[in-house]
């Protein structure tokens, strides 16, 4: 039986934090964090809490007005909570997201966040999702196996061959 108070246990903190994400409440989200902590969405963004977190998630929620988020599973230990999640939304809000202009694309992704929790506050988050799949859904990359993808790979491969020739 854990000796940590239930409301400060990593699983409870994770569930509360992600309930705030689902509610699109950036102030409530920030309240779960230790100020100055780092939230890393690997391959996408690095945020210092609270300012960067408020800015990035504020942009996400504005860009995807119908953003829907659900927790699929939570597994926790003494200081860690792993959260498997599912998010959907339509990229049709009034603001850019990650430099992209809203285009009406539908996004449906899953990911996993690994939170470090001490003294009832999130100290760090390492989030993982398939950024390539998200970029394809946002139409920032061509569909997998498409003629456009083969052309893109052809250009990248040509660049690589040219760089090798120039190094000789």
Q: pLDDT tens, 100-157?
A: 999 999 999 999 999 999 999 999 999 999 999 999 999 999 999 999 999 999 999 9
Element of type H or E holding 83 = strand 80-90
The answer to whether 8 and 120 have CB atoms below 8 angstroms apart is yes
What is the pTM for the complete model shown? 0.86
pLDDT at res. 168 = 83
Among 83, 73, 77, 84, CA closest to 118: 77
Confidence of residue 8 (pLDDT cuts 50, 70, 90): low
Peptide bond into 50 cis (omega under 30): yes
pLDDT at res. 152 = 92
56-113 pLDDT, tens per residue?
999 999 999 999 999 999 999 999 999 999 999 999 999 999 999 999 999 999 999 9
The answer to whether 95 and 64 have CB atoms below 8 angstroms apart is no
pLDDT at res. 61 = 98
Kindly give the pairing relationship between strand 121-129 and strand 80-90.
Answer: unpaired
């Amino acid at each position: 039986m854990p000796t940590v108070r239930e409301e400060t246990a990593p699983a409870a903190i994770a569930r509360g934090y992600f309930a705030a994400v689902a509610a699109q409440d950036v102030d409530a989200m920030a309240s779960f964090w230790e100020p100055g902590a780092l939230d890393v969405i690997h391959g996408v963004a690095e945020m210092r809490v609270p300012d960067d977190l408020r800015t990035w998630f504020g942009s996400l929620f504005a860009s995807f007005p119908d953003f829907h988020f659900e927790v699929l599973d939570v597994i926790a230990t003494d200081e860690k909570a792993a959260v498997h999640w599912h998010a959907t939304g339509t990229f049709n809000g009034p603001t850019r997201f990650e430099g992209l202009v809203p285009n009406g694309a539908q996004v449906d992704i899953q990911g996993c966040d690994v939170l470090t929790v001490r003294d009832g506050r999130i100290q760090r988050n390492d989030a993982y999702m398939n950024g390539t799949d998200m970029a394809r859904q946002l139409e920032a990359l061509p569909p997998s196996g498409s003629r456009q993808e083969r052309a893109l790979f052809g250009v990248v491969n040509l660049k690589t061959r040219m760089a090798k020739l120039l190094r000789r």
